[in-house]
Amino acid sequence: MKIVNSIKDLKAYLAEAKQDNKKIGFVPTMGALHNGHLSLVQHCVKNNDVCVVSVFVNPTQFNDKHDLETYPRTLEADCVLLSSAASDVYKRQVLLESAGCDYVFAPSVEEMYPEPDTRTFDLGTVSEVMEGAKRPGHFNGVAQVVSKLFYIVEPDNAYFGEKDFQQIAVIRAMVKQLNIPVTINACPIVREGDGLALSSRNTRLTPEQRQKAPLIARTLKESTTFVPGKSVQEVIDYVVNTINSDPVMEVEYYEIVDGNTLESIKNWSDTDYPVGCITVYCGEVRLIDNIKY
């Protein structure tokens, strides 16, 4: 496995693979790797000849400076020296390598943005609701960085976790708009034994918050037993009230939407693909999850 920091070097390595007609798979990440990321790598390796994983905390998708500053960064340590301070990084590299990753692309901000990216994307409803409404500019930043990465890697396939359900819809819309020849593969959410969806942000939870956080997944799962007996609004009220009953937790939003358009539904008959999408503050840590009804 090679760790690559420059666009030029990565493109050179991948050019050789493409000359041999090898299929390129790509897993974009923002680091703080966990088993959810590794499951994406495994899907990638299984279905491609070459696997590329990017590790880049993209500043343009953070509308909250504090969130950017506190976002976990585990690959900043020197990956070559592997000092004692980088032991956790070393473990993650071994996991990536054993999973079959060929290239880790870990560029600097200056490498990715030698000059400001001023592109503005109009991706319609999928980028305007839920996270789009709560985090202005977030999905424009996602479209900026993912499109840049796609242009660099030129993958045949790209892999994203369904925990970021709305992000996948946004990326699919962006790929269609820009006519980028890549297949977007959505992979199932990976959870802890107690149901909590794996997330890099989980490392910021205090022990008490970590104990409380699985309430999100338990409540979502329980809510599926009410369908179709209870109305959409009744299910929403149940989820919000149950989670908010814990003083450590506060629901920012919970919406049940059409899984394709992400437009909110009022009745179960409005769609044959209802998905519940939630964002919860557990202390100061913002956690997201979703469930299919």
Nearest residue to 160 via CA among 249, 266, 41, 279:
41
Q: Determine contact, residues 155/47, Cβ cutoff 8 Å.
A: no
The CA angle 134-55-189, to the nearest 5 degrees, is 60
User: Which parts of the chain are beta strand (E)?
Assistant: 2-4, 24-29, 50-55, 103-105, 157-161, 183-187, 249-258, 274-282, 285-292
CA 53 to chain centre: 13
Half-sphere exposure of 217 (CA within 13 A, CB side): 17
**Which class for 214: exposed (0-12), middle (13-18), buried (19 or more C-beta within 10 A)?**
middle
34 is annotated as an active-site residue? no
- Measure the CA–CA gap between 125 and 240, rounded to whole angstroms: 24
User: Which parts of 79-127 are beta strand (E)?
Assistant: 103-105
Question: Of the residues 34, 37, 43, 138, which is catalytic?
Answer: 37
- How is residue 24 written in tokens? 């390129």
The CA angle 188-219-131, to the nearest 5 degrees, is 60
- How is residue 246 written in tokens? 């814990």
- How is residue 46 written in tokens? 């299984």
* Residues labelled as active-site residues: 37
